[in-house]
Amino acid sequence: MYKYDQYDQQMVDTRVAEFRDQVRRRLGGQLTEEQFRPLRLQNGLYLQLHAYMLRVAVPYGTLNSAQMTALGDIADKYDRGYGHFTTRQNIQYNWIKLEETPDILADLAAIEMHAIQTSGNCIRNISSDQFAGAAADEVVDPRPYAELLRQWSSFHPEFLVLPRKFKFAVIASETDRAAMKLHDIGIKMVKNAAGEVGAQFYVGGGMGRTPMIAPMIREFVPLDQLITYAEACLRVYNRYGRRDNKYKARIKILVHELGKEEYTRQVEEEFAHLLGQDIEPPIAELERIKTHFTDPAFEVGAPDDLDLTDPDFRLWVERNCHTHKQPGYSVATVSLKPVGGIPGDASADQIRLMAQLAKDYSLDELRVTHAQNIVFPHVRKADLYTVWKALDEAELSTANLDTVGDIIACPGLDYCSLANARSIPLAQKISQAFGSAEKQSELGELKLKISGCINACGHHHAGHIGVLGVDRKGVENYQLLLGGSEGADTSLGQITGRGFDEDGVVEAIETATQVYLSNKQGEERFLDTYRRIGMAPFKEAIYG
């Protein structure tokens, strides 16, 4: 994985010094809160319901064990002993003190991490496929391109005060595990007919109050023009994105209002101009970055057999492990969704344990997934049982990946100052009602996603079943959506009808699953059945 050189290290160290200076000026009265707020946000420091919250970037979701250990230590030293993994592959701490923030950033810099641009109206942390470098189906490892973009977007002088936040995702597989088309810019690395690698650009996707699926605007951008093309996309947005209404300021609205053709025309014009400006890093830079992402030292000839006599282990392998490109290895996902638990939360001890296991059994690597889970990307099959045993003792062995218990939920009104309703208690209720192994196996793949407000941090539009919390005259109310999806077959969920209280929405979900089970044909998933029979039978059963 990527290792900082003296320049990268100097950049994060300089940022620590800059933020320390900004905090000094804030506490000393030279900066008002109004002036300080955009500055602290560009360093991932929010004010949430109970305290400051710090969001730490996990670039393209990749971590080593030393970094993971340090994240656990930060939770103990500066917070209240836990961290929350987010849908943007980052980690958040909920009880941060302003005065201590510069020291936290210094601790992060010491392990080549930072909180740069994890909030604010700028280019955010670049997300990617959590199986990158391990997936059997990838064209190339997408992370070198994400790293190239990370460096380009860090402190980009022209794009620090965009109309609104800006999110990239980079993938390189046919199977989209990163919700690529629901980003401001989604990039899919592809090979053309001549076998050359290039970047396919999708621009103007997003969730929030106006969910949109990004259209493709360029089939193939050559690698020696990647940064220049991204710069053109951003410049057109910075100049013409709406600034009169924050709800219409995302690039998806610009692309929608101009039309894909006109936006593309403007980008191509700007691109042609920028090609003459000598802003593209040389291919040698990409090659340099790539040397950090060569395959780790896989054991050749590692055995492929697994002893599955332990039924609990067998279930976990079936649910949570994926095919690795290297024979004898497996990709194992640790679910942070125990029945009745808080989706995405992990205690400092759990974080350090996962770090240790990664060090001992996953060639020192971990990944954070957008579904708020942790991945050990490179586990020898021979070690899987040992890993599972250790996870089991730490209550981290829940076998529910991509099932109804593997709920994505935003922090909701328990933590978030923007939320209208609580998400976590509902997630807990649902996982208790549907989380049994029998129920999960009966329902199969079923992605359930909960947001506590229209900003859609819980990706409710993209859930096979989605729930949106709203405020109805001071009382929490929940709307139900069906039919969303985030993969290669991206679609947006439709609202069933009037909302419910907390128990009511659990009942409605129960009814929806009954409709599925009684209409299911063959191996259909919930989503397949919904797509075949449509909303009407669900609506009728739910509202009768």
Partner 1 sequence: MVDVQFRFRNDEAVNDPAVTVDSFGEQSNASAVRIEPGDDARKLLPFLGRLKLIEVNFPAWTDGRGYSSARVLREAGFEGELRAVGDVVIDMLSHLRRCGIDSFAPDHALNEADAKAAFDRWENVYQAAADGRDAIWRKRHG
Partner 2 sequence: MKILTGNDLKSGAVVWWDGSEWSKYVNSAEDVGDNGDAIIAREEGARRVFSAYVIDGERDANGVRPAHIKERIRALGPTVRPDLTLKPGDPDAGNWVI
By a kind-dependent CB cut-off of 5 to 8 A, residue 160 interacts, out of partner 2, partner 1, none, with partner 1
Query: Which secondary structure element, helix H or strand E, spans residue 177, and what is its range?
Result: none
Looking at beta carbons only, is 432 or 519 nearer to partner 2? 432
Looking at beta carbons only, is 9 or 210 nearer to partner 1? 9
What is the smallest separation between the CB atom of 82 and partner 2, expressed in angstroms?
Answer: 9
Q: Where in 233-292 is the site for partner 1 (CB under 8 A)?
A: 235, 238-239, 243, 273, 277-279, 281-282, 284-285, 288
Euclidean distance between CA atoms 209 and 246, whole angstroms: 11
Residue 92's nearest CA partner among 74, 66, 112, 110 is: 74
Judged by CB under 8 A, the stretch of 8-16, 192-200, 409-417, 460-468 that binds partner 1 is 8-16
- Phi, psi dihedral angles at 35 (to 5 degrees): -75, -35
Report CA dihedral (91, 62, 460, 344) to the nearest 10 degrees: -40
Identify the burial level of 366 via C-beta atoms within 10 angstroms of its C-beta, where 0-12 means exposed, 13-18 middle and 19 or more buried.
buried
Q: Does 207 bind partner 2 (CB under 8 A)?
A: no
3-class state of residue 249 by DSSP: coil
By a kind-dependent CB cut-off of 5 to 8 A, residue 536 interacts, out of partner 1, partner 2, none, with none
By a kind-dependent CB cut-off of 5 to 8 A, residue 10 interacts, out of partner 1, partner 2, none, with partner 1
Looking at beta carbons only, is 36 or 530 nearer to partner 2? 36
What residues contact 511, with CB distance under 8 A and at least 6 apart?
538, 541, 542
What is the smallest separation between the CB atom of 89 and partner 2, expressed in angstroms?
Answer: 22
By a kind-dependent CB cut-off of 5 to 8 A, residue 428 interacts, out of partner 1, partner 2, none, with partner 2
4, 18, 66, 103: residue in contact with partner 1 (rule CB under 8 A): 18
Looking at beta carbons only, is 363 or 427 nearer to partner 2? 427
In order of 56, 93, 101, 485, the CA distances from 98 in angstroms are 15, 12, 5, 39
3-class state of residue 283 by DSSP: helix
Q: Does 531 bind partner 1 (CB under 8 A)?
A: no
Angle at 198 between CA 195 and CA 204, to 5 degrees: 145
Altogether, the residues listed in the chain come to a count of 544
Query: Which secondary structure element, helix H or strand E, spans residue 96, and what is its range?
Result: strand 91-96
Q: Does 86 bind partner 2 (CB under 8 A)?
A: no
77, 80, 156, 322: residue in contact with partner 1 (rule CB under 8 A): 156
- Tokens 């620090």, residue? 160
Q: Where in 44-63 is the site for partner 2 (CB under 8 A)?
A: 47, 49-52
Asked whether the beta carbons of 57 and 122 are under 8 A apart, the reply is no
Which residues of the chain form contacts with partner 2 (CB under 8 A)? 26-27, 29, 33, 47, 49-52, 80, 94-99, 342, 413-415, 417, 419, 422, 424-425, 428, 474-476
Q: Which residues form the interface with partner 1 (CB under 8 A)?
A: 5, 7, 10-11, 14, 17-18, 21-22, 25, 30, 35, 38-39, 121, 151-152, 154-162, 235, 238-239, 243, 273, 277-279, 281-282, 284-285, 288
